[in-house]
Amino acid sequence: MTENARVAVVGVGNNTSALVQGINFYRRTGSLVGIHRPQLAGLSVGDIDVVAAFALSDGKVGKDLHEAIFAPPNNFPRLDAHRPESRRPGSSGGGSPGAEAGLAPSGVVVQRGLVDSAGIPRMAHAIEGAEVLLYSAPSGRPETARAYAEAALIAGAAFINTTSDSVAREPSLLRRFEEAGLPLIGDDLTSQFGTSVLHNTLLRLLEERGLTLISSYQVNLGGTEDFRNLVETPNTKHQSKVNALGTDKVQIAPLGYLPHLKSQKIAHLNIEAQGWGETEVSLDVRLKVHDPSGGAGVNIDLIRLAATALRDGRGGYPAEAAVHLKSPPGTAV
């Protein structure tokens, strides 16, 4: 029987909440709903142990992971809310938010994360024993991202960069992971079911059917802290979205941070095309999805993939990861 994958997580935001809650949810309920790959190299979605977690905010550091994932500004919902029948007996009496959500304390206390490269040795020590270091902090701090990658190199762990910051696209860094026999996965997660994958699929369909694309747009609205960061600080997200679509006929409207959406993302897509006889074809789509679920649903595969590659001694960028990334090695930074 395959051993559980051991993962350390950087960032205790909504994506980590969705990941941690989901692992517990699927372990407890046995549900297979909404899972991309029930088994991957012998690992089911419940076969993952989070062994360490890092954050920067005072509201999270020092708390049990199962409590910290509900601290503001996190706003991903409690996965148990709509499945009251699955609550563990006796768990309803607990006073802490984690307990209310059917989560016993994890035993993992959130530690303070890196702020600069001076902390790399400490971090390398702190993640000892982890097979995978999942970097799931907000986009927009490329130096920090790369400092964590350095710590993973020292500790002998695989590294996954889910942000749009350039890590796996750094050729020298990728080479060092290859040489160390450590997997390096990134950059920028394609959500399990997000705007990019949907938009791409529709554009490909058009092409397959012989229609000619005239114009297209995409609007993304969301209410998470991630969205706020993306809106307020200059970042590489826009370029990464353009990389993902591979055409310049699509126009991407500025991201809209709408707090009341909480962890939901809403996207409006429009496609104008021409078919036989140059007659008009138009397509309008509205997608509503929990953004962190889309991230967790892919992270669960990347973690298993990274752990497996590590165990097999395959260093560098694993080709199987490509389908899950917007900006893999070789694309524009």
3-state SS record for 195-219: HHHHHHHHHHHHHHCCCEEEEEEEE
Which residues from 55-84 bind a copy of itself, rule CB under 8 A? 77, 79, 82-84
**How many of the other CB atoms lie within 10 Å of CB of 197?**
17
Q: Which is nearer to a copy of itself, 49 or 272 (CB)?
A: 272
Contacting range for a copy of itself; rule: CB under 8 A; set: 30-38, 115-123, 144-152, 165-173: 30-38
> Interface mask (CB under 8 A) for a copy of itself, residues 150-189, using x and -?
----------------------------------------
Q: Which amino acid is at 187?
A: D
Stretch that binds a copy of itself, among 21-29, 50-58, 59-67, 107-115 (CB under 8 A): 21-29
Query: Interface with a copy of itself includes 209 (CB under 8 A)?
Result: yes
Q: Which CB sits closer to a copy of itself, 167 or 289?
A: 289
Sole window of 99-107, 127-135, 179-187, 214-222 interacting with a copy of itself (rule: CB under 8 A): 214-222
- 31 near a copy of itself, judged by CB under 8 A: yes
Pick 135 or 257: Cβ nearer a copy of itself: 257
State the Cα–Cα distance between residues 150 and 222, nearest whole angstrom. 32
Judged by CB under 8 A, the residue of 85, 116, 248, 280 near a copy of itself is 280
Closest by CA to 225, choosing from 66, 56, 78, is 56
CA distance 330 to 69: 34
Residue placing its CB nearer to a copy of itself in the complex, 104 or 213: 213
- What CA–CA distance (Å, rounded) separates 303 from 133? 9
Per-residue exposure over 136-153, b if at least 16 CB sit within 10 Å of its own CB, e if not: bbbbbbbebbbbbbbbbb
Residue 46 found at the interface with a copy of itself (CB under 8 A): no
Q: Is 284 in the site for a copy of itself (CB under 8 A)?
A: yes
| Encoded tokens for 328 | 């893999």
Binding characters for a copy of itself, 260-279, by CB under 8 A (x = yes): xx----x-x-x--xxxxxxx
> Residue 204: how many CB atoms within 10 A of its CB?
11
Nearest to 139 by CA among 228, 56, 245: 228
Tell which residue, 261, 269, 265, 264, has the closest CA to residue 286. Answer: 269
- Return the number of other C-beta atoms located less than 10 Å from residue 130's C-beta: 23
Q: How far apart are CA 195 and CA 200, in angstroms?
A: 8
37 touches a copy of itself by CB under 8 A:
yes
233 binds a copy of itself (CB under 8 A): no
Report the interface residues with a copy of itself, using CB under 8 A: 18, 21-22, 25-26, 31-37, 77, 79, 82-84, 192-193, 197-198, 201-202, 205-206, 209-212, 214-215, 217, 219, 221, 231, 251, 253-256, 258-261, 266, 268, 270, 273-290, 293-294, 296-297, 300
